[in-house]
Structure 1
Amino acid sequence: MTELHRPLQEPATRAWVRATTPARVFTGRAGTSYPTAALLALRADHAAARDAVTAPLDLDDPELDELSARFSFVTARTRAGTRAQYLRRPDLGRRLDPACREDLLAHCPAGADLQIVIGDGLSATAVHAQIPHLLPLLARGCDERGWSTGRPIVVHQCRVGVMNDVGELLDPAVVVLLIGERPGLATAESLSAYLAYRPRPGHTEADRNLLSNIHREGVPPEQAALRILALAQAMRAAGRSGVAIKEPAALES
């Protein structure tokens, strides 16, 4: 009998389940509550998630500062002037600040094969944790394919819809937005990659593709880079993105 088919009350099976998922299952109990260790871990994870939502994206962080110098980041912001406004007005986070549009036109080459955008989203913590590993892998993969990438754009107070403004301004073939996901109690370091072929204002989620759960315990950066590049290649070949493009099953595993 395999571990999967043993009765769940057996200690060995409970330990096996706990080892295969970050979900809080078989944690035990103390009366009607969690045991002390489980309760403290829950509170710590909840605090990390809350901090991730409000923490600023700090480009002076040593690893991000090194990347900024190496890849010549261009910074921008959305119409959400503060973090509080960003959280209360998602619509403002989907549009670039008008003053930043001129900066992007002046400093970012148009017509790139793949335009990389980095957004804080709902977890700057995820950007700090994943971008130093993921960005160099994407840049190397683009070089190997002979793709131009322009200059990476870092957007503060960023929502996914900002891809449409970037597409309208710079007309890249594919935009990939690497953005912090809404943190949960399993991790506050999870990143998403949204991709779209020639995005424009008015495009919706149906026009985009998503690779989520990018972190060491989910989709590791090495695999994420391969999957992002494969999706971008499929979009370029088909001339479209979204529901019409399916990720190769071999890359999902």
Structure 2
Amino acid sequence: MDEQTIQSIVNSVLRELGEHSLPAGQVTRVQPQSNGSQQNNPPAYKPSEAAGSKAEVKDQSQGLEDLSLDKFVHWNGIENGHNDSVNSDMVKQTAARVCQGRAGPRPRTRSLLRFLADHSRSKDTVVKEVAPEWLEQQNLWEVQTCVTDKSEYLRRPDLGRKLSDEAKKTIGERCKKSPQVQVVISDGLSTDAVTNNLEEIIPPLMKGLESAGFTVGTPFFLRYGRVKAQDEIGNLLQAEANLLLIGERPGLGQSESLSCYCVYKPTEKTVESDRMVISNIHTGGTPPIEAAAVIVDLTRKMLEQKASGLKMKR
């Protein structure tokens, strides 16, 4: 490929980037240096000020802005839209990645950085641990499943469904026996879901259950828990209704979603169709206080009908 062809390709790419006043320029071939002399290369190409302002390039010494700011989350990346207000309104109405725009076949840089940031946030909440100090502040004691650490929890879901021998002993010693309702909190796959929502959902939930006239068991925290673990807990305490608040698998940009799994008289024979779930509990979904009221009402129906899941009449 000759130099003229290469220069033509370079100019074509620069036009796509918004450059129209292109320097003549030339392709520089790197040659081996001899006798210690430096090679005199022409200066590197520098975009014009117009192109820089269009790409919103800022002083690099200031570093990148926080990608969690609202202006990045609700960013309209479509340029010269036929009706830009429609696109902007769409962006504000959903957390989905709409109106991101394209740079040829690739996503825009800002869109890609947001994706990478959200992905990192989702991974972080999975591997983080709920601090024992935080549990003490919430007046919660903890037990653990047969999982030994977070790495094993992710690799062995089966171990997260079983209580350790020590957990069984502690629950038997510290929990009220045969309550109508037993509340359990677990980290699950999102630490942020527990730490960000628990203070808002537990007080109205416990108060609502008591106001409804139910005898409520001793709430506690289950570390490295899976949903199936509530069956063993319910069977161990002989609770009529078991409510498990657990962190859900995070999505991109949403790592704080809590769910409540409800089941009537769970046993080792309980199947998933016996369970009901209220999901998407967080400030951007179902508000925790509202979710608490829904859970109380659902618990009342379960105890009245002595059933849950597909066995319960709607």
In 1, Cα distance between equivalents of 2:82 and 2:225: 46
Cα deviation, residue 135, structure 1: 0.6
| Higher mean displacement: 194-203 or 23-32 | 23-32
What do the CA deviations read for 1:7-37 (whole angstroms, capped 9, x no partner)? x963222112111110001111223322222
Query: Could you tell me which residue of structure 1 aligns to residue 43 of structure 2?
Result: none
Q: Unpaired runs of 5+ in structure 1?
A: 1-7, 248-253
Q: Is the 8 A contact 1:118 1:155 kept in 2?
A: yes
Question: 2:92 aligns to what SS in structure 1?
Answer: helix
Aligned partner (choices 204, 210, 219) of residue 152 of structure 1 = 219
Query: Could you tell me which residue of structure 2 aligns to residue 51 of structure 1?
Result: 124
In 2, Cα distance between equivalents of 1:9 and 1:209: 45
Query: Could you tell me which residue of structure 2 aligns to residue 108 of structure 1?
Result: 175
In 1, Cα distance between equivalents of 2:312 and 2:253: 30
Question: 1:60 aligns to what SS in structure 2?
Answer: helix
Question: Which residue identity does 2:195 align to in structure 1?
Answer: H
Q: Is the 8 A contact 2:186 2:246 kept in 1?
A: yes
Query: Could you tell me which residue of structure 2 aligns to residue 125 of structure 1?
Result: 192
Q: Does 1:10 align with 2:75?
A: no
What do the CA deviations read for 1:191-248 (whole angstroms, capped 9, x no partner)? 010000111112111111001110111111011101111111110000011113366x
With normalisation by structure 1, the TM-score equals: 0.88
The number of residue pairs the alignment matches comes to 234
Aligned partner (choices 129, 136, 152) of residue 65 of structure 1 = 136
Q: Does 1:135 align with 2:202?
A: yes
Question: Which residue identity does 1:25 align to in structure 2?
Answer: V
In 1, Cα distance between equivalents of 2:310 and 2:154: 28
What do the CA deviations read for 1:126-155 (whole angstroms, capped 9, x no partner)? 100111111111011112112222211210
Cα deviation, residue 176, structure 1: 0.5
246 and 37 in structure 1: CA distance in 2 versus 1, 3 angstrom threshold:
farther
Percent identity over paired residues: 35
168 and 186 in structure 1: CA distance in 2 versus 1, 3 angstrom threshold:
same
- Name the structure where helix makes up a greater proportion of residues: 1
Query: Could you tell me which residue of structure 2 aligns to residue 79 of structure 1?
Result: 146
Q: Is the 8 A contact 2:121 2:253 kept in 1?
A: no
With normalisation by structure 2, the TM-score equals: 0.72
Q: Is the 8 A contact 1:214 1:220 kept in 2?
A: yes
Cα RMSD over matched residues?
Answer: 1.5
* Greater relative contact order (CA < 8 Å, ≥ 6 in sequence): 1
Larger Rg: 2
